Structure 1
Amino acid sequence: MAEVLLFSGGLTRIADQGQSTGIWKCAVAGPVRLGCEGLAGDVQADRRVHGGIDKALHQYAAENYRRLAEAFPAIAAQLLPGSIGENVSAGGFDEDSVCIGDVFRLGRARLQVSQPRSPCWKIDHRYATDGVARLIGEQGLTGWYYRVLDGAVVCSGDPLEMIDRLPGAVSLAGLWQVWRQHRPDPATLERLSAAPGLNTGWQKKLLDRVRWLRANGDRSAPVDATFHSRPR
């Protein structure tokens, strides 16, 4: 069990890209309502890849910041909980120990892990440093999304604990490692697509790749970006 820090925020304009981002978050000072689409007052800019029922809440492993700081010492002072755009920060949980479909209790709310977070070019913009998002993808320091099973009023300092793991659960690290392989085994992809609790978007991505691999035999697999690249 761990105590959480909660973060929420509005939109910030990225003038040179003509876009907005919700990556800049502030610590939540008091009680806040957590509903099926996340924390009250929290906003996502690009709803195609962030937010919604299956991506209502984002947690980033607090320990990952140490690994990022080792790789990017020039921005170590910026690599603090909340800075990568997560809503939830807590020690003791990471991509190796958390599985798709795990059910957590946060205060009186219940959450279920639905998918990893695919790193985005806005992470590099946030830290004004190229390569952070790519390293996150390469090392699987992705964080994860929750769907909210039971909403409640929550606050920083509430306990977070894993209360249920479904049979056949797959770790976030295990899913990400196979997904990044150049030519993963189609049967393994099929097995992963059936992981209990997995977001339907990820199910489709995995099965689409199965179909491509089986249709193309020994041809080189298409390049698969592991993060949402900067628009051109």
Structure 2
Amino acid sequence: MRIISISTGKIAPLFGIDHPDHRMVNSGIKKEIVSSLDNPISIKVRTVGLDGDEQADFSVHGGLEKAIYAYPSEHYPFWNELLNREAKRTSPIGFGFVGENLSVEGFFEDAVWVGDNWQIGDVELEVVKLREPCFKFNARMGYKGASKAMIQSTRSGWYLKVHKGGNIKAGDAIIVTPGRREMSIKEQNHFLLRKESQKDLF
């Protein structure tokens, strides 16, 4: 289990489908790879997240409880097939496109548990909760069914809290220490799917 790439992004205007009033909204969802397996640059991890990363709305991403967003690299074939079929997207999306900071290898939502601790070198992180997508995710993906697809497929990724900062880079191994393991990220997905508010994702 390891980091495949690290991505950060600045707050920027986001235009696209499925905005509440079809106007521009600011978002930090557009990430660029800053550390890859081919170019494993060291990135500083602080209590509030990665150096160079910004969030426009701390209620959905950022702050101490949602400092870093991790996403399985193995999910990208699913998204490329879906976007090609449903949104007629011909160019594939790559790591960081769904807004994650860490594209990771060897993790899936059914085996990632709230409270698990991650050790990456000297850095210590804790799994906090799943990502709840909204209209900004639909706009980013260019497909208004993207949020619904993320939750229904249980391919949500998860947020991490920083207990100890330091430096990380692509290729670094991730050592997991189990927490209480009372709820997995996949189970959180199922609870979210059953919520009445799920209709807001359409």
Q: TM-score, normalised by structure 2?
A: 0.84
Counterpart in the other structure of 2:47: 36
Q: 1:14 to 1:168 in 2, by over 3 A?
A: closer
Equivalent pair of 1:133/1:227 in contact (CA under 8 Å): no
Q: Could you give the per-residue CA deviations for residues 90-119 of structure 1, whole angstroms, max 9, x where no partner exists? A: 111011111111101123201100000001
Structure 1 residue 161 displacement after superposition: 2.5
Counterpart in the other structure of 1:23: 29
Q: Could you give the per-residue CA deviations for residues 8-63 of structure 1, whole angstroms, max 9, x where no partner exists? A: 11011136523211111111142221011100110001112110001000011111
How many pairs does the alignment contain?
Answer: 188
Look up the equivalent residue of 1:86 and give its one-letter code: E
Equivalent pair of 2:115/2:180 in contact (CA under 8 Å): no
Look up the equivalent residue of 1:160 and give its one-letter code: I
Counterpart in the other structure of 1:2: 2
- RMSD, matched Cα: 2.0
**The structure with more radius of gyration:** 1
| Matched-pair identity in % | 28
Query: Which of 167, 178, 182 is the equivalent residue of 1:169?
Result: 182
Q: What does 1:189-200 correspond to in 2, within 5 Å?
A: none
Report the secondary structure of 1:96's partner residue: helix
Look up the equivalent residue of 1:166 and give its one-letter code: G
CA distance in 2, matches of 1:172, 1:226: 20
Q: Could you give the per-residue CA deviations for residues 97-151 of structure 1, whole angstroms, max 9, x where no partner exists? A: 1111110112320110000000121122112222111111222211100000111
Counterpart in the other structure of 2:18: none
2:95 corresponds to 1:122: no
Q: Return the structure number with greater strand share.
A: 2
Query: Which of 53, 71, 80 is the equivalent residue of 2:82?
Result: 71
Report the secondary structure of 1:53's partner residue: coil
Equivalent pair of 2:124/2:164 in contact (CA under 8 Å): yes
CA distance in 2, matches of 1:96, 1:88: 18
Equivalent pair of 2:33/2:95 in contact (CA under 8 Å): no
Structure 1 residue 181 displacement after superposition: 2.6
Q: Return the structure number with greater helix share.
A: 1
Q: Which of the pair has the greater relative contact order for Cα pairs under 8 Å at 6+ separation?
A: 2
Report the secondary structure of 1:77's partner residue: coil
Equivalent pair of 1:116/1:145 in contact (CA under 8 Å): yes
Counterpart in the other structure of 2:156: 142
Structure 1 residue 228 displacement after superposition: 6.4
Counterpart in the other structure of 1:14: 14
Equivalent pair of 1:56/1:146 in contact (CA under 8 Å): yes
Unaligned runs of 5+ in 1: 183-222
